[in-house]
Amino acid sequence: MRKLTFSKGGVHPNDSKYSRECGIEVLPLPQVVYVSMAQHLGAPAKPIVNVGDFVKAGQVIAEPGGFISAFVHSPVSGTVKSIGPRKDLAGNNMTHVEIAVEGDIWADGIDLSDTLVTEIPQDRETILKKIQECGVVGLGGATFPAHVKLNPAPGKVAECLIINGAECEPYLTSDYRIMIERSKEIAVGAAIMQKVLNGCPCVIGIEENKPEAVNAMSAAISDLKLQNIEVKVLKKRYPQGGEKQLIDAVMHRQVRSGGLPIDVGAVVQNAATALAVYEAVQKNKPLVTNTLTVTGDCLPENRQHNYLFRIGIPLSYIIEYAGGVPEGAAKIISGGPMMGKAVANIDAATVKGSSSILYLSKQSTLRKEESNCIRCGRCADACPMGLEPFLLNRLIKAGDMEGLEDRSVQDCIECGCCLYSCPANIPLLDRIRPAKAAVLGIIKSRNIKK
């Protein structure tokens, strides 16, 4: 079988999946959790509880703050201690709801049993409403509210649902573990989303370095006799899990600049999102848990873990539970090594999209001295969006915003391939990121004027 992959750019970092054999463990509850109001892309949610209220696990504590926004639920049962600004991962202020844990009482109507429910509700609207009310967001990284993506604008038809099991980021294994341990739930979740999208075909894309996941998912689909779902093996290549790259790999279609996946008839959802959809629709359980990998190149093999955690648990609690910061760790990163962010505030709370705590040694995080661009063009070869990072870098230095827009800096997916491939150690992505934000701002204000 020919393995699929995207057509342009990409790099091949060592996958370093040290924690792949570690089964998912349930993380015990801490004394206190901090639930952020900005756990999703779009407007922050608005808290609807008051200080002193008793909340049950799974109870709504915040309402969406706009069209692109999501419900937030309490991950634990306990008393609301405070509602106010707290520093997030990057050290910026965000409204958090602080809940002191008391017992573990779940809200009514939530099915906590392990029994697999395969019967899918018939009504499309009911399913969408449940997904929205359970606060399901895309867990692949962007945390885009799932109900918005699953409800294409009128006139747009979904021709293929792609379940993203690529997990192309090195080190991360949380998606891999859930695809092995909870493959049937994910398959049903995919079937539910298929139903919502009027029965379009579904492809589960998994990279070739995860054969166990491919087998588990294929077995689950044939066991459940699901129609129109197939597993496709993808070549190992970063950033395969990028939305546009995955569409290119699976459907051989390319999303135009500024376009959305639905323009080419594709809807992409992460494997973890499929699991969250299953839990929301079949079990009535809101998105209050997720899987997270604790790993790193300076972490001994017996200390690698995959945890099922309640959202809102502070990172410091998980770090302590997993045995503290290992010797030789120079940086703690939340997310993968390519796109993740260095943790500036270790007391920050986990959010819906948290996927890992990664300890990297000094050797692998070392920034080498920048030298001159020799125009070798490796960054342009590596860019999966077909941009020319060396040129963008020059335009940024010249402050040429129009030139940057002409060269489509706004299409950058911030995957870091340019920085990874540069032999002169030029921090290309670091410079492009603020320029992209500036250009997007210019485009937005221009559209408002119109």
Interface residues toward other proteins, by CB under 8 A: 84-85, 87, 89-93, 341-342, 344-345, 367, 427, 430-431, 433-434, 437
Smallest separation (angstroms) from other proteins to the CB of 333: 12
Could you tell me which residues come within 8 angstroms of residue 447 by beta carbon, excluding any fewer than 6 positions away?
none
142, burial (CB in 10 Å: exposed 0-12, middle 13-18, buried 19+):
middle
Query: What is the three-class DSSP state of 293?
Result: strand
Q: How far is the CB of 370 from other proteins (least distance, A)?
A: 8
- Shortest Cβ 304–other proteins spacing (Å): 25
Nearest residue (CB) to other proteins, 225 versus 367: 367
In whole angstroms, the minimum distance from the beta carbon of 336 to other proteins comes to 16
Residue 79 bridge partners (DSSP): 54, 100
Smallest gap from Cβ 92 to other proteins, in A, equals: 5
Beta bridge partners of 4: 234
Nearer to other proteins, 156 or 431 (CB): 431
Q: Which is nearer to other proteins, 84 or 103 (CB)?
A: 84
Q: Can you read off the two tokens belonging to residue 276? A: 């969250």
Instruction: Please say which residue, 56 or 431, places its beta carbon nearer to other proteins.
Output: 431
- Please identify, using beta-carbon distances, which residue of 437 and 443 lies nearer to other proteins: 437
Would you give the DSSP letter of residue 353? T
Residue number with CB closer to other proteins (251 or 438): 438
- Closest contact distance (angstroms) between CB of 202 and other proteins is 37
| Helices 389-398 & 428-449 angle (0-180, nearest 10) | 70
Q: What are the distances in angstroms from CA 163 to CA 191, 197, 389?
A: 11, 13, 30
Residue type, 365: T
Q: How many CB atoms lie within 10 A of CB 93?
A: 10
Beta bridge partners of 162: 203, 268
Q: Tokens for 52?
A: 């002193």
Owner of token pair 């993968």: 336
The CB density around residue 43, as the number of other CB atoms within 10 Å, is 15
Min. distance of Cβ 327 from other proteins in angstroms? 18
Task: Closer to other proteins by CB, 258 or 434: give it.
Answer: 434
344 φ, ψ to 5°?
A: -90, -20
The residue (of 94 and 214) whose beta carbon lies closer to other proteins is 94
Shortest distance in whole angstroms from residue 340 CB to other proteins: 12
Residue placing its CB nearer to other proteins in the complex, 7 or 92? 92
Pairing relationship of beta strands 24-26 and 78-87 according to DSSP bridges: unpaired
How many Å apart are CA 238 and CA 9, to the nearest integer? 9
The token duo for 128 is 């969408």
Measured from the CB of residue 351, what is the shortest distance to other proteins in angstroms? 15
Cα–Cα distance, 431 to 419 (Å, whole number): 10
Contact assessment for residue 42 and residue 66, using Cβ atoms and an 8 Å cutoff: yes
